Structure 1
Amino acid sequence: MASSFSASWLRGDPRALEFLPDRFRHRAARAEAVAAAASRPLAPAIHDVLVARNARLAPSPARERNLELLARSGTTAVVTGQQVGLFLGPLFTVYKAASAIVAARALAEETGRPCVPVFWLQTEDHDLPEIDHCFIPRSAGGLLRVSLEQPDAATSRVPVAHRHLGPGVTAALAALRAELGDGPHASEHLALLERAYRPGATLADAFAEVLSALFADEGLVFLDPRDPRLAPLAAPLHRRAIEEAAAIAGKLAQRGQALSEAGFSEQVHIRPGAPLGFFSPDGIEGARYRIDPASTPGTWSLVGHPQGASVTTAELLSWLEREPLRFTTSALLRPILQDSWLPTAAYVGGPGEIAYFAQLAPLHAHAGLPMPLIVPRARFRIVDDRARRLLDTLGLSPDDVAAPRDELLARLAARDTGGGFESPEAIEARLLGDFASELARLGERMAAIDPTFSRAISRTDKTVRRGISRLTARYGRAITQRDQVRVERVDRLRAYLAPDGAPQERIHGLPYYASRLGSRAFTRLVLEACVPFSGDLKELKP
């Protein structure tokens, strides 16, 4: 089974460092990355687009200063980004933005060069089911899923930049208010969401409005790659990706093979000859399809097209000249576009993005771009007063809650009965241990008499192990259900700290915490807890 690249990389595993050096940990390497980025000034045309895009947001003197800095030679950027999820999506969106801000400050202090945090609004994707909802922990336990409820979400292939909010957002806001309305800061936070997420607005504009308000004092700058004025500036990269597709895919395939041989899997599968881009044949607001080489030379398949359509290289290049906004990047091509437009000293990413960058060195080299520092985003687990009370009542630590639910309940049941019940794991180990030793002794005695007896031993071993496993599982369920109050408390605690067994930051949305603590107060809490250039999990205790 392939190892997690990001986890191995954060541990300093030499196998992972062969593909992605941990330069973010070393001050000298950070200085080198800043110097390399400072030698690539922001093009005036891109700066003009940034100024115009950010002017649509609520005024922020800090953002205006950062935009002025970006116009100056020698200024660098720390970039992060995320898909534009409903109500900002999972908490890690806020953690990413805060991490970029703190890393930019640290690099500026270390090097004496200006460094600006930039948030890349990922609006080119079409994965609406990934971003059309938000989860809120309920005080009674479990999660509330708040969704736009768009019937075409699963089939839509339109870039999310062109998705406008409809009546569904009003119902989603009402559901939030019904669940969170009694929070001490609910009125303030829900009013912010209602101003931004209104029928007729785009998902991207609403997302940017809220996130920019949270980080107005820090001057976070926003870039939307679907801005029509940027499309001609992306065209040279798309042209090169098409014309040099075979060479690029070959280098990436070699990289993928090397990763596999080292025990890791590719985060993004490389298709032979694929140009790493998407094309919208029906117009800039139409469905987008991945471009793959067809069997006929000079022809490309539009993967997923309902009529199985194809397009020639000449047609693609003609459209690229006339209407470059029909072209969008893939997960691997986007960082190259980012680093060709911006003086990127560092990119702040989560585990999946770290794994992308393990594949990307050959692509950066092919494009003649230096690889930026890859900095892991901050990781937090919020242990608020409700969670603390439950932890104290149950006698657990936050780390205990990461265990599977049934295992945690069985452990509590065995502990709280004063030793009257063993844990299911202990019983299974004892039963299997006695059985295995006796079975092994029998096998040794019979080996000389009947060599085929080993097959019967093997069959019996498997049968008995399955039976004991089923028996102890039933035993575990029986003892865990003895105390329904404890079961309900565990479920509430897991909803707060490990929803559905996943990290809290990957499931919970901001509204629950902002309604209880205040939008800006929560943002300050995260910023103050961020440690630059650290990927360690930390606890936030409001």
Structure 2
Amino acid sequence: MASSFSASWLRGDPRALEFLSDRYCRRAARAEAVATAASRPIAPALHEVLVARNARLAPSPARERNLELLARPGTTAVVTGQQVGLFLGPLFTVYKAASAIAAARALAEETGRPCVPVFWLQTEDHDLPEIDHCFVPRSAGGPLRVALALPDAATSRVPVAHHHLGPSVTGALAALRAELSSNPHVDEHLALLERAYRPEATLADAFAEVLSTLFADEGLVFLDPRDPRLAPLAAPIHRRAIEEAAAISSKLAERGHALAKAGFSEQVHIRPGSPLNFFSPDGAAGARYRLDPSSSPGTWNLVGHPEGASVTTAELVSWLDREPLRFTTSALLRPILQDTWLPTAAYVGGPGEIAYFAQLAPLYAHVGLPMPLIVPRARFRIIDDRVRRLLDVLGLSPDDANAPRDELVARLAAREAGESFESPEAIEARLLSTFASELARLGERMAAVDTTFAQAISRTDKTVRRGVSRLVARYSRSITLRDQVTLERVERLRAYLAPEGAPQERIYGLPHYASRLGSHAFMRRVIEACEPFSGNLKDLKP
């Protein structure tokens, strides 16, 4: 089984560092990255669009100052980004933004060069089921899923930039208010969401309005690659991706093989000979399709097109000249567009992004761009008053919430009853260890007597292991049923800290915490807790 690249990289595994440097850890390397980025000023045409786009957001003198700085030679940027999820999507969205702000401040202080935090609105993707919902923790039961009812969401290939929220957003907001009504700051936070999330608004505009309000004091700048005024500036990148597709995919495939040899898997699959961009044959607001080389030279198949359509290179180049907004980037081409446009000193990313940057060194080299520092985003676990009460009552630590439920309940039941119940895992290990030792001894003794005896040993081993597993499961259930109250408390704790076995920050959205603690108060707490250039998990205890 392939190892997690990001986990290996964060702990300094030399295998991972061969593919992606941890330069962000060293001050001298950070200064070098800033100096390199400072030599690439932003194009005036791009800056003009940024100023116009950001003028539509919540008023922010700090953002205006940062936009002015971006126009000056020598200014650099720390970039992060995320899909434009409903009500900002999972909590890690705001953690990313806060991390970019903290990193920009730190780089400016270290180097004396201005550094601006920029949030890239990922509006080119078409995967609506990933962003059309938001999860809210509840005191009982599983998370509440608040979602939009968007027609054909599961099959849509249209970039999310072109989707309006529609009338179902009113019901989603009502569901939030009903669930969060007892929280002290619900009116303040819901008022912010209701101003932005209107039926006639797009997912992207609503997302940007809320996030820009939350980080107005920090001057976070926003970039939307689907702005029609930016399309001509992206055209050269798309043209190169098409015309040099074979060479690029070959280099990326070679990189993928090297990753696999080192024990890692590709985060983004490479299709032989395919460009790293998408094309929308029916117009900029139409469905987008990946391009695959066909058997006819100079012709590309539109992967997934209902009529099996194809397009020639000449036609693609013509569309690039006439209507470049028909083209969108893939996950691997987006960083190249980003760092062509912006003086990027550092990119703040999560585990998935760290993994695909491990694939990208050959592409950066191919296009002649320096790769920025890759900085892990902040990771937080919120320990609020409800969680603290549960931890105190159960006598557990936050890390205990990651343990299997039955193991936790067995441990607690044994402690409360004064009985020394072993954990199910310990019993299973002890039983199988003794059995395996005796079975191995018997196998060695019989090897010279009967050459087929090993087959019987193998069959018996599998049978006994299945039997022991069933027995241990029965043991675990028996202990679990001893204390239903303890079980319910453990389930509530796990639901808050590790919903569905995943980190809290990857499931739950902002509304629950903002309505309990206050939107701006919570943001201040997150920003203050951010440690630049550290990917360690921290507990927030508001």
TM (norm. structure 2) is 0.98
| Aligned position for 1:125 | 125
Within-5 A mapping of 1:348-367: 348-367=348-367
Maintained 8 Å contact 1:101/1:220: yes
Question: Structure 1: how far apart are the matches of 2:178 and 2:411?
Answer: 36
Q: Give the SS at the match of 2:295.
A: coil
Maintained 8 Å contact 1:214/1:523: yes
Q: Give the SS at the match of 1:295.
A: coil
Maintained 8 Å contact 2:411/2:421: no
Question: Structure 2: how far apart are the matches of 1:385 and 1:288?
Answer: 46
Q: Give the SS at the match of 2:158.
A: coil
Q: Give the SS at the match of 2:451.
A: coil
Query: 1:436: how far off?
Result: 2.7
Amino acid at match of 1:424: P
Is 1:71 paired with 2:71? yes
Q: Give the SS at the match of 2:533.
A: coil
| Aligned position for 1:254 | 254
Question: Structure 1: how far apart are the matches of 2:350 and 2:437?
Answer: 47
Q: Give the SS at the match of 2:375.
A: strand
Q: Give the SS at the match of 1:28.
A: helix
Query: 1:248: how far off?
Result: 0.7
Maintained 8 Å contact 1:80/1:100: yes
| Aligned position for 1:486 | 486
Closer/same/farther in 2, CA of residues 294 and 407 from structure 1, 3 Å limit: farther
Maintained 8 Å contact 1:414/1:423: no
| Aligned position for 1:321 | 321
Q: Calculate the aligned-residue CA RMSD, in Å.
A: 1.1
TM (norm. structure 1) is 0.98
| Aligned position for 1:433 | 433
Q: Give the SS at the match of 1:80.
A: strand
Within-5 A mapping of 1:205-216: 205-216=205-216
Gaps of 5+ in 1: none
- Count of aligned pairs: 542
Maintained 8 Å contact 1:391/1:398: yes
Question: Structure 2: how far apart are the matches of 1:383 and 1:407?
Answer: 22
Is 1:311 paired with 2:311? yes
Within-5 A mapping of 1:38-437: 38-419=38-419, 421-437=421-437
| Aligned position for 2:34 | 34
Maintained 8 Å contact 2:185/2:515: yes
Amino acid at match of 1:323: E
Maintained 8 Å contact 1:410/1:477: no
Q: Give the SS at the match of 1:278.
A: strand
Q: Could you tell which deviates more after superposition, 169-178 or 397-406? A: 397-406
Maintained 8 Å contact 1:278/1:328: yes
Gaps of 5+ in 2: none
Q: Give the SS at the match of 1:20.
A: coil
Maintained 8 Å contact 2:279/2:326: yes
Structure 1 vs Structure 2: percent identity of aligned residues? 85
Question: Structure 2: how far apart are the matches of 1:483 and 1:340?
Answer: 60
Q: Give the SS at the match of 2:140.
A: coil
| Aligned position for 1:453 | 453
Maintained 8 Å contact 2:63/2:219: yes
User: Per-residue displacement from partner, 1:49-95 (whole Å, max 9, x unpaired)?
Assistant: 00000000121000000001011111110000000000000000000
Maintained 8 Å contact 1:141/1:488: no
Query: 1:337: how far off?
Result: 0.1
Amino acid at match of 2:267: Q
Maintained 8 Å contact 2:410/2:421: no
Amino acid at match of 1:531: E
Question: Structure 1: how far apart are the matches of 2:438 and 2:417?
Answer: 32
User: Per-residue displacement from partner, 1:330-382 (whole Å, max 9, x unpaired)?
Assistant: 00000000000001010000000001111111111111111101110000001
Is 1:509 paired with 2:509? yes
Amino acid at match of 2:480: T
Question: Structure 2: how far apart are the matches of 1:390 and 1:462?
Answer: 41
Question: Structure 2: how far apart are the matches of 1:299 and 1:144?
Answer: 47
Maintained 8 Å contact 2:95/2:377: yes
Question: Structure 2: how far apart are the matches of 1:104 and 1:347?
Answer: 10
User: Per-residue displacement from partner, 1:88-129 (whole Å, max 9, x unpaired)?
Assistant: 000000000000000000000011110000000000000000
Q: Give the SS at the match of 1:229.
A: helix
Question: Structure 2: how far apart are the matches of 1:204 and 1:437?
Answer: 61
Q: Give the SS at the match of 2:358.
A: helix
Query: 1:472: how far off?
Result: 0.7
Q: Give the SS at the match of 2:359.
A: helix
Query: 1:39: how far off?
Result: 0.5
Question: Structure 2: how far apart are the matches of 1:417 and 1:429?
Answer: 24
